A = this chain, B = another copy of it.
Amino acid sequence: MQQDKLSLGAVKVKKVFETEWFSIDAISQKKSHRPYYRLSCNDSVVIVALTEDHKLILIRQYRPAIGTSMLEFPAGQIDLGETPEVSIKRELEEETGYRCGSLSYVGPYRVDPCRINSMVHLFFGKDAKLTGKKQIEDEIEEVITISEEEFKEMIKDRKFIAASGVGFYSLAKLKGLF
């Protein structure tokens, strides 16, 4: 097994398709004649944030990839030159109009290691207040704040079906952040 890892230095990566948001790389693996294809893009950020009255902030967002909208935690791709912290503050305020009184960094996680090479940086925020600086973003259909008990019911009732979102919430809980 160690041999596989060491031979990675000889792996060749070639960009075979490109859009404004991501590219597709073909990775030539020594052991195989068939290349492996991955989606390559900037890292992203996501936040599990609580309002001053201890409610979770969720957004209902239209997702063109699936042709429908769904509930998720506020998130976004990191812009060129941004730190994850600057990025998550910007995304949260643009998408929801909230700014957190305190923010902590939980860490970088993998969302789809099978196919995507980027990481998502998870933040936990508290004491979020409305600033009135929500941007007009067409794809954000609704911002909702709900109690933790209501959120758990939502998960059980399949009203929240983002698997990584359930993971982000559980990570913040397991780390003892709330």
Contact = CB atoms under 8 A, between A and B. Distances in A.
Contacts of A39: 39, 65, 115
| Size bracket of the A interface | 35 or more
Contacts of A174: 152, 155-156, 166
A24 to B, nearest CB: 6
Nearest to A168: B163
- Residue among A110, A114, A162 facing the most chain B CB atoms (10 A cut-off): A114
Contacts of A113: 63, 65-66, 70, 72, 162
Contacts of A144: none
**How many of these chains are in the complex?**
2
Interface of A: 1, 4-5, 8, 11, 16-17, 19-22, 24, 27, 29, 31, 34, 36-39, 62-70, 72, 107-117, 120, 122, 138, 141, 152, 155-156, 158, 161-171, 174-175
